[in-house]
Structure 1
Amino acid sequence: MIDFDTTDPKLLRVTITGDVSREEVKDFYAKFKPEIDERHRTGVLVDITGFKDITPGAMLEDVIEEFGLLGDMSKMPRVAMITGNRTWAGMVRYLNPIIPKMETRVFMPSEIRDAEDWARDLPEPKERKPGLSVIDTDHPDVLAFELDGYMDDDDMDIIVRPFRDRIDKGGQFNALARLKHFAGFDPEILFDRALLGMKWDAIRALHRYAIVTDHQWVRPFAGMARLVSKVDVKIFPMAEEQAAWEWVKQPIPTAA
């Protein structure tokens, strides 16, 4: 069962109990979406203390509906989740850094008042600056960029252009990415043909790819990259950035 309470002008309450069916999910989003459209910004509180199970069809429906809400994340800058389940709490903490424009925190059932206060206390909107920027290098075979914030689809050309120019010159090259803060991304990026084409060609042109970051959630993605390509991917902590530069500036073997 999904209960949806809209009586608080600063907070939307969602309480999930028992088993959840696909029809219940569809009915919930039919009410939730219009409410989000009407509100400029709002906090959200999701209480799953009494949640038991969800059918496969309901889970698929929820994923589809949530993907459709990616463009409205900025309207829900804070989401408080109430649960005593450690597995759910761990999943939320892991995924929180990669959810765009929205911060999610987990609270215990005994902390519901703190959760309400936190979700209502919305931060002031910040003036957006490009999350991506190119780092100048003194090496012809090294391209570098920095991610610090939210990646907008309009920002993609900042890195697509120099990478495309270097790929078109032929031969292999190295790259370095400095990841300071990741605040999510515009879902349109997933369908950016110029970016997708550049990534596909870069897989064959890249020799070494250094990622400088202290974010641990990056490691599984780097591991997957090693499995599906021949690019030598290596992660360096921020304190060892100099070692990362020295690594990518080493001469590329002719055999590569």
Structure 2
Amino acid sequence: MLKHVSAPDHGTPPNASIRFIQTNKDNVLAFEIDGVMSSEEMPGVIKKMEDFLAGQNKVRLLNRIKHFGGFDPSILMQSGLFSMKLSAMEKVERYAIVGAPSWMRKIVDTMNPLFPDIDMRTFTVAMEENAWAWLEAESAE
């Protein structure tokens, strides 16, 4: 198996809420959210996602949520965010969200039918191993 090695996050603030997780598959990107997403960290996150998506036809994502404290609204105005999201919508086939609060699970359940080419599923923290199995990947950490 190929090991997807994350490049160092140069310029990422030390208190960044988004941390990338190494996986054992080149077409699987995993990340963890822990805190409030800031506008300072988003250029690095957008670049990492764009680089990952550029080299793939179909991808799978795992989002582990330790604590979602919200986000700085100025993130919505960041250059490249919407084009990266559109590119992701064309390539993501499976998206596992681990540890989502109940309100987020309801949003995912509501939105899932709107994106028939993307299978989004939520998993409890205790079921993270099932999320990795569903993505047919493993954490390489």
Instruction: Please state how far the C-alpha of 1:214 moved relative to its aligned partner.
Output: 4.8
CA contact (8 A) 2:36 2:70 kept: yes
For residues 139 and 212 of structure 1, the distance between their equivalents in structure 2, rounded to whole angstroms, comes to: 18
Q: Does 1:192 find its partner at 2:91?
A: no
Q: Which position in structure 2 is the counterpart of 1:212?
A: 98
Q: Does 1:243 find its partner at 2:130?
A: yes
Figure out how many residues of one structure are paired with residues of the other and give that number.
123
CA RMSD of aligned residues (A): 1.6
Q: Which position in structure 2 is the counterpart of 1:234?
A: 121
Match of 1:139 among 7, 25, 33: 25
Q: Which runs of 5+ in 1 are unaligned?
A: 1-127, 251-256
For residues 90 and 100 of structure 2, the distance between their equivalents in structure 1, rounded to whole angstroms, comes to: 27
TM-score, normalization by structure 2 = 0.80
For residues 154 and 214 of structure 1, the distance between their equivalents in structure 2, rounded to whole angstroms, comes to: 24
Instruction: Please state how far the C-alpha of 1:164 moved relative to its aligned partner.
Output: 0.7
For residues 135 and 158 of structure 1, the distance between their equivalents in structure 2, rounded to whole angstroms, comes to: 15
User: Which is higher, the Rg of structure 1 or of structure 2?
Assistant: 1
Q: Which position in structure 1 is the counterpart of 2:9?
A: none
Q: How does 1:1-256 map to 2 (within 5 A)?
A: 129-229=15-115, 230-249=117-136
For residues 83 and 110 of structure 2, the distance between their equivalents in structure 1, rounded to whole angstroms, comes to: 19
CA contact (8 A) 1:136 1:144 kept: yes
CA contact (8 A) 1:134 1:146 kept: yes
Runs (4 or more) in structure 1 with deviation over 2 Å come to none
For residues 131 and 110 of structure 2, the distance between their equivalents in structure 1, rounded to whole angstroms, comes to: 20
TM-score, normalization by structure 1 = 0.46
Higher relative contact order (CA 8 A, sep 6+): 2
